[in-house]
């Protein structure tokens, strides 16, 4: 994984929206605000970063929005581990 693709994934709107949805599913009232604290731990997680970079290198034009690349469970597990106290 490269810093370039980690940066790209952290700024990928589709991935950000999926992280927001995961935060909301955890019962947070302010998921868009919390996403700003959580997106970097999600994007730098080794499994997410490797999957994102592999998808980019293989020509996937929507790696952050493709659940076959980064699964909802991958996102949820990293969101749960990174959620700040309410």
The pTM score is 0.95
Output DSSP code: residue 27. Answer: T
What phi and psi values does residue 60 have, to the nearest 5 degrees?
A: -65, 125
Query: pLDDT digit string (tens) for 39-83?
Result: 999 999 999 999 999 999 999 999 999 999 999 999 999 999 999
Query: pLDDT digit string (tens) for 19-47?
Result: 999 999 999 999 999 999 999 999 999 99
* Number of domains composing the chain: 1
CB atoms near residue 15 (< 10 Å): 26
The pLDDT assigned to 37 comes to 94
Q: Dmax of the chain from CA atoms?
A: 39
The pLDDT assigned to 71 comes to 98
**Residue-number span of the structural domain to which 67 is assigned:** 3-82
């Amino acid at each position: 994984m490269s810093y370039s693709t980690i940066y790209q994934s952290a700024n990928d709107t589709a991935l950000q929206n999926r992280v927001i949805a995961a935060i909301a599913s955890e019962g947070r009232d302010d998921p868009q605000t919390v996403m700003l604290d959580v997106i970097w731990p999600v994007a730098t997680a080794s499994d997410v970063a490797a999957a994102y970079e592999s998808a980019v290198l293989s020509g996937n034009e929507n790696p952050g929005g493709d659940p076959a690349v980064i699964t909802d469970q991958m996102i949820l597990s990293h969101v749960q581990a990174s959620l700040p106290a309410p």
